[in-house]
């Protein structure tokens, strides 16, 4: 568990921040019951590698398998609620109103907790679109307005009849231009980046801390494990974010 001295050191760095950015990954949602990508997914999915399922090719080859995987994940996320780590980031935003959260997560737990400046790099698990983007990119589809046989996998686009797919970024797909550009600008402008719950393996999201550091920012990492980001972190807070972030915010508020 992280020492109080390191918490104090991190709080001192954040206290002086004039432009705070936060990068989150699946780890911040772990204590809400949402498995991370590197956890062995339980049940039916234990034999699949997420990086193999979250691809356009997998969907084209087996739309039902990929669709069912996302329906399963939507069910889990649907039952999840924000954990103390999410709420600590809300307190942080109250102290730093211009703070931005750049997230790799496709759940809406940062929104549910109450943060308001959130950049989703990899899309939104709850949203769907036409696989062909037949009405423009993207062509959003509200599946609550559709009737289809779930046993046959995804519904069909009401405009063109092609499959409906989750509106997330799959491996090998470009990130939404607007989100990526905003994330890079905020990473280059920040003077402190708090990196929470990411293995730092997936690019271009994992490049954000490097952009920040190259622009002179201090990097604070919250993660129970050693990661690709740990190598460039000025302060590494070892532990689960649901425990560490509240301690960090408490230390910050102590000198408010």
Residues of this chain that interact with ligand BV8 (CB under 6 A) are 25-28, 30-31, 36-38, 51, 54, 104, 106, 122, 168-175, 197-199, 201-205, 222-225, 227, 240-242
Residue with tokens 């508020």: 253
The residue from 110, 120, 122, 163 that is catalytic is: 122
Which one, 16 or 44, has the nearer CB to ligand BV8?
44
* Helix 4-15 and helix 241-254, axial crossing angle in degrees, nearest 10: 60
Active site annotation includes 163: no
Which one, 85 or 155, has the nearer CB to ligand BV8?
85
When computed from its CA atoms, the radius of gyration of the chain, rounded to whole angstroms, is 19
Instruction: Write b or e for each residue in 224-247: b if 16 or more Cβ atoms lie within 10 A of its Cβ, otherwise e.
Output: beebebeebbebbbbbbbbbbbbb
Which one, 71 or 203, has the nearer CB to ligand BV8?
203
Residue with tokens 């509200």: 142
The minimum distance between CB 35 and ligand BV8, in angstroms, equals 8
Residue of this chain nearest to ligand BV8 (CB atom): 27
Residue with tokens 């969907």: 59
Structural contact between residues 241 and 31, judged by C-beta atoms closer than 8 angstroms: yes
The minimum distance between CB 230 and ligand BV8, in angstroms, equals 9
Which one, 90 or 160, has the nearer CB to ligand BV8?
90
The minimum distance between CB 98 and ligand BV8, in angstroms, equals 24
The minimum distance between CB 255 and ligand BV8, in angstroms, equals 25
Which one, 139 or 241, has the nearer CB to ligand BV8?
241
Residues with a known catalytic role? 122
């Amino acid at each position: 568990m992280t020492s109080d001295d390191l918490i104090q050191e991190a709080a001192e760095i954040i206290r002086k921040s004039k432009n705070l950015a936060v990068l989150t990954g699946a780890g911040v949602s772990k204590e809400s019951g949402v498995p991370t990508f590197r956890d062995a997914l339980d049940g039916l999915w234990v034999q699949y590698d997420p990086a193999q399922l979250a691809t356009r090719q997998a969907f084209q080859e087996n739309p039902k398998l990929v669709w069912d995987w996302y329906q399963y994940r939507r069910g889990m996320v649907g039952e999840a609620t924000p954990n103390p780590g999410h709420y600590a980031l809300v307190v942080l935003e109250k102290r730093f109103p211009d703070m931005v959260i750049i997230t790799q997560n496709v759940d809406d737990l940062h929104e549910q907790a109450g943060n308001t400046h959130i950049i989703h790099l990899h899309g939104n698990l709850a949203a769907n679109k036409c696989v062909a983007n037949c009405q423009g990119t993207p062509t959003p589809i509200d599946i609550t307005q559709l009737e289809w046989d779930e046993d046959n996998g995804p519904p069909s686009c009401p405009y063109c009849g092609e499959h409906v797919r989750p509106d997330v970024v799959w491996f090998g797909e470009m990130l939404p231009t607007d989100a990526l550009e905003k994330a890079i600008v905020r990473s280059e402008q920040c003077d402190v980046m708090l990196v929470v719950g990411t293995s730092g393996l997936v690019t271009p999201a994992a490049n954000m801390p490097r952009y920040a550091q190259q622009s002179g920012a201090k990097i604070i990492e919250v993660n129970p494990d050693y990661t690709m980001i740990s190598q460039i972190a000025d302060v590494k807070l070892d532990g689960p974010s649901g425990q560490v972030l509240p301690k960090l915010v408490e230390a910050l508020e102590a000198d408010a």
